[in-house]
Amino acid sequence: MKILCSLPVQKEQREQVRSILSEAEFLGVKDFSQVDQDVEVLVSFGQEITEESMSNYPNLRWIQVMSAGIDHLPLKAMARRGIALTNARGVHQIQMSEHILWSILTIMRQGQITIRQQVRKVWDPEVRIEELHGKTVCIVGAGSIGEAVAKKCRAFGMTVWGITHSEKKHQAYDRMGTMNDLAAFLGSSDIVVVLLPLTDETSGMFNKDLFSQMKAGSYFVNVARGAVVNEPDLLVALNTGKIRAAALDVFMQEPLPESSLFWEMDNVLLTPHIGGRTPYYMARTFEIFTKNLRLYPNFTQMHNHIDLSKGY
């Protein structure tokens, strides 16, 4: 069997794959444009995975994407062909939870303002700051990253609530709820962190209706997908003070256009989709791939097996 990888392949990685499946060829390729009857597995960040590129591999059985987001992939085409999909969910826990805590600390202590003042050599000790201690944070999308965030927030003395698609409880959270509880949770939360996958149900979900239900003067953090948020509605909420400040790592259009109003807003901390970055990313994602390779072809037993009908 052949495994094609559109990421750089190291010698030790090839050896590790062969130690798991001795008959496997693990090959690095520039893209997935060449027809090959022997290819059973593709490994990629996902950009090269299209219905057209998959058609080059009539015997394709499994795709491992080295990212968590799968909203850009041809899920329906995979389902029609019976191709299994796994992602890198869980690999972002450390770096994204650190990024989220940094974001919360920054906007609550007005770091985005003091940095601008430093550039202008302005000394203003009257900048309004807040404490994390005693605050309630609602994590909307309480998965593996949310769990890591919850643990760090509790270390700061915060109350942590989580919204998830199931009613399972977790010791990292003080309170758990489903989407039916979202409005009530938002109305009592000082900080809202969005970690939802992008699906048909979540697209544009955070709009004026949800923002109106948030606690006045609360803080908003989005590290999920830009399309989960209605940006014009968020701008209104920020300008009226309904939301005191926001930390945004993802946007509807990336790179963010120079014309965007977010660039100039004092109550916005803006980062260029770097929440998942870490120098240890490839090592962690390759570990997920090799764990799944040991289970091949027991797809439903693999780590992060995606239900293609649900998109997660």
For residue 246, the model assigns a pLDDT of: 98
Q: Buried b / exposed e across 145-166, counting CB within 10 Å, b at 16+?
A: bbbbbbbbbbebebbbbbbbee
For residue 115, the model assigns a pLDDT of: 95
Domain covering 93-270: architecture: 3-Layer(aba) Sandwich (3.40)
Query: Can you tell me which residue has the tokens 């005191």?
Result: 244
Catalytic residues: 225, 254, 273
For residue 170, the model assigns a pLDDT of: 82
CATH fold match for the domains 2-91+279-301 and 93-270: yes
pLDDT in single tens digits along all 312 residues of the chain: 999 999 999 999 999 999 999 999 999 999 999 999 999 999 999 999 999 999 999 999 999 999 988 989 999 999 999 999 999 988 999 999 999 999 999 999 999 999 999 999 999 999 999 999 999 999 999 988 999 999 999 999 999 999 998 767 788 999 999 999 999 999 999 999 999 989 899 999 999 999 999 999 999 999 999 999 999 999 999 999 999 999 999 999 999 999 999 999 999 999 999 999 999 999 999 999 999 999 999 999 999 999 999 888
- Whether 137 and 190 have beta carbons less than 8 Å apart is answered as yes
Closest to 173 (Cα-Cα) out of 183, 164, 165: 164
CATH of domain 2-91+279-301: 3.40.50.720
State how far the Cα of 225 lies from the Cα of 133, in Å rounded to an integer: 28
For residue 71, the model assigns a pLDDT of: 87
265's tokens: 């807003």
Strand 25-28's sheet: what is its strand order?
A: 25-28, 2-5, 39-44, 62-65, 84-86
State how far the Cα of 275 lies from the Cα of 149, in Å rounded to an integer: 13
Query: Hey, how many other C-beta atoms are within 10 angstroms of the C-beta on 61?
Result: 17
For residue 138, the model assigns a pLDDT of: 98
State how far the Cα of 233 lies from the Cα of 268, in Å rounded to an integer: 14
Closest to 190 (Cα-Cα) out of 228, 235, 232, 243: 243
For residue 194, the model assigns a pLDDT of: 98
**Domain boundaries, given as residue ranges, for the chain:** 2-91+279-301, 93-270
